[in-house]
Amino acid sequence: YYMREDYVKAAKYLSKALDYVFDIKDYREIGMTFYNMAIVCIMSGNYEDAIYYLEMILSIIAVLNFHDMHYHSLPGVYAALSFACFKINDDVKGTEYCNKAGEGEALLKYDEIVFYGLARSMSYERDGKTDKAVESYMRAFAVVNVRELEIFVPFFCHEYGMFLKRIGKNDEAKDIFEKGIVIAEDKKYLYRKSLMQRELGEDVEVKQMKIPKTRNIDLDILLNYAEQKKIFNKMQRRMSEINFLNSVQKILVQTHKTIEEIALEFSNCVKNFFYVEKIFIFYKDAKMEPIFLDEIEKENYENVFYERIKKCIDDNGIIDKEIIKEEVETGCVSIIPILN
């Protein structure tokens, strides 16, 4: 329904999904669904509702100490927030969120890059830097083309055309709107088409997209859940650490093993006993910066992890904990305190 521009119906089904994930208290899924709801709100022009959902994601991340949500990054949340704030002329928050998104620009993915490009363009526009704004719009458009985010093409044309009108380039704006209308008509994106027709002065009816409200998050309940989850995770982690140490002990007493065999068993041991995010896993490079890898690159990650483990084992099969401190850290839990 989202891809058909039926945003009201898309929101209806997202609300049903929220009811389910609220019942099972899966706050990562709640955050992901809030993000999808926020994008539906942005695309339908309900910017204040979008801001509400995105700020609730920030609350979940802060309270539960998440690095990000499923399929989306924290900088991506800031990027969408920045764009929505600029759209309601809240330049102070728009600029603040845009700068936060920029700090994690390397982690942005797909539609997040588009929103960041549009938000950065609007930030430049507010500062009177129209040339830089145009450059940022073009970078966003390049991503739309490469990623084949077809619903964003007429959306981009609409946003870019309005920018050109604001800076007095009416002929260029007219050309962009006309191209956008052709694309929207071809893809049957009639809502976006009508918005651009209206910008050209045509007397057309624009369908009103009022998105129904969903359930609110009670932050007191969230805080209580976070505390319970913290205690449970601590107990579960301790059990994993004990089992992990027992397994490591068995590996280290097998003196007939080669360094490669020990490294392989050790890395498999870490993967077996410690949760690693299925979609986003990261290790730390020489600069101790997190590097996010997608599912396709998971095998490369495991090879790198294996090679780093090998560096930590001397010729006698003894794991050097000091080298491990420099070389190895998994995505969700450090193995250093456990070995110490």
Entry pTM? 0.66
d(CA 233, CA 183): 50
122-144: per-residue pLDDT in tens? 999 999 999 999 999 998 888 88
Phi and psi for 7 in degrees, rounded to 5?
-70, -30
Tally Cβ neighbours within 10 Å of residue 141. 19
Q: What is the mean pLDDT of residues 317-334?
A: 44
Instruction: Choose among 166, 126, 159, 168: nearest CA to 140.
Output: 159
Instruction: Choose among 138, 137, 141: nearest CA to 153.
Output: 141
226-273: per-residue pLDDT in tens? 677 777 777 776 777 777 777 767 776 665 667 667 667 766 776 666
Side-chain-side CA neighbours of 30 within 13 Å: the count stands at 25
Q: What is the mean pLDDT of residues 156-177?
A: 94
Res 338: pLDDT: 38
Specify burial of residue 167 (Cβ count, 10 A radius: 0-12, 13-18, 19+). middle
